[in-house]
Amino acid sequence: MDIKTQNSAIQDVMADALVVNLFEGTQQPAGATAAVDKALDGAITALIQSGDLKGKLGKVSVLYPRGAIPAARVLVAGLGKPEGFTPEKARQASAAACKKAQALGAKSIASIAHGAGSGNVDAAQAAQATVEGAVLSLYEFRAHKTKASERTPVDTFTLVEFDAAKMPTIESGAKIGQITAESANVARNLINQPANFMTPTLLAEAAQKAAAESNLHCKVYGPEWIREQGMGALLGVTQGSEEEPRFIVLEHGRGRSEKPIIFVGKGITFDAGGISLKQAEGMEAMKSDMGGAAAVVGALRAVGQLDLPLHVIGIVPACENLPSGRAYKPGDVLRARNGTTIEVINTDAEGRLILADALCYAANYKPAVVIDLATLTGACVIALGKNVAAGLFATEDELAAEIRQAGEATGEKFWHMPLYPEYRETIKSEVADITNHGGRFGGVGASAIFLKEFTAYPWAHLDIAGMVLVDKKEDKLNIKGATGFGVRTLVEFARRRAA
């Protein structure tokens, strides 16, 4: 989809669907909506007075101008109550309007930036959110479909601003929104691919493609290098699979003098649980166990295309976790890169093992901060719910606050959870330094405290297990499938560090 900006009166724009908005409780349209209302001889006001148009968030009303203006349709997107209006509500309003326009067969959409006027949202943020809502909501994964989509493809989305003085701000926000949302969609594509089309080798190739598009430096390492590095935990997990592991390093701002920000993503391209086999029902969703890796690839792509004045590194350990005659077993002892020995209690607690070696490797860069993302535990989904919030652990409260603030700006929720020392007691081993599983209770805390053993720098862990997939037909921004959760928060975190 082509994203454009245009300095014009919205009522003069030719499009299949023209989008304006209305706050809940408004009796008289204002701004761009008032201009369109006037051109339509008060049609929007009449809808308000009849009670058919209330401005509720997520609701969209359709009017047909019949030649009064160049656009074929006018869509009025509800913004909800004006009190506490946020960029996330602008994002949702844009998404609702674009979905409605697409359902009506529109191939071109023109919209104002929601909330930039009476919503009191910064114009750049409003533009960014409006574009993100459009790009995210119109996504569809069709790599393996042989029949044409029932959804009409939208060719162009134009963000329209009347005030010429605001155009540089609108253009800047639109660019950020487009790059960030398209990078989230790149992550969605990686996650939605079946595991036979997204092996560790193919994930590495996708990372190389993202690097080429974004002026990133990319190195991909194979099993011999991994062995030379002493990454025994990663090698233990991968040994049950015929597919070779890959260790992927993406780098933006190489050569800069400051300490880097590092994002680490769990890259289990398929997780059958190993010898501790998962139940068959729903196992097909385990192609999404590389959701953290996909988020890191997407985030680095955006950081590169935005050319942020930072040194940012993405690290992705990638492998499969399968049962076979060669697979690692409960009771085995593995040695991580830093020499820590790990007793394997459950082979389905594999993500923390491959992350352990990656977190050790991150120390080579003397990082300013390391943030890992992983679909790590079902316990986090039980604790926080499906598609509600991700778990957040951090060694510093200030770092946790930074991540939560970035998440609030993007509409991605994180809940700060504790790193109590008592969790360390649950992973004590009789035969090794630690175990990889803390038992039934406090599983999400035990997994985080396990990872902490391999860090010696400011560090945060994001357990995104409940957030990477939408199981229902759709939510406010996504259709069924991958969400690309985490990409936009990581990009916002980096942008704020660069400011």
**Catalytic choice (335, 352, 404, 452):** 352
Q: Can you tell me the distance from the alpha carbon of 310 to that of 245, in angstroms, rounded to the nearest whole number?
A: 29
Tokens 């946790």 locate to: 400
- If you write DSSP's letter for every residue of 333-364 in order, what string do you get? EEE-TTS-EEE-S-TT--HHHHHHHHHHHHGG
- CA–CA separation, 47 vs 42, rounded Å? 9
Task: Please state whether 55 falls in left (phi above 0), alpha (psi between -120 and 50) or beta.
Answer: left
Burial of 148 per CB tally in 10 Å (0-12, 13-18, 19+): exposed
Q: Which pair of tokens denotes residue 395? A: 């060694």
Q: From 466, 439, 481, 470, select the one nearest 381 (Cα to Cα).
A: 466
DSSP lists the bridge partners of residue 20 as 76
How many Cβ atoms sit within 10 Å of the Cβ of residue 176?
A: 22
Per the annotation, the verdict on 352 as an active-site residue is yes
- Tell me which of 38, 151, 209, 278 is the catalytic residue: 278
Cα–Cα distance between 372 and 374 in angstroms, integer? 7
Tell me if 365 sits within 8 A of 313, measured CB to CB.
yes
| 458: exposed, middle or buried (Cβ count in 10 Å: 0-12, 13-18, 19+) | middle
Q: Which residues are catalytic?
A: 278, 352
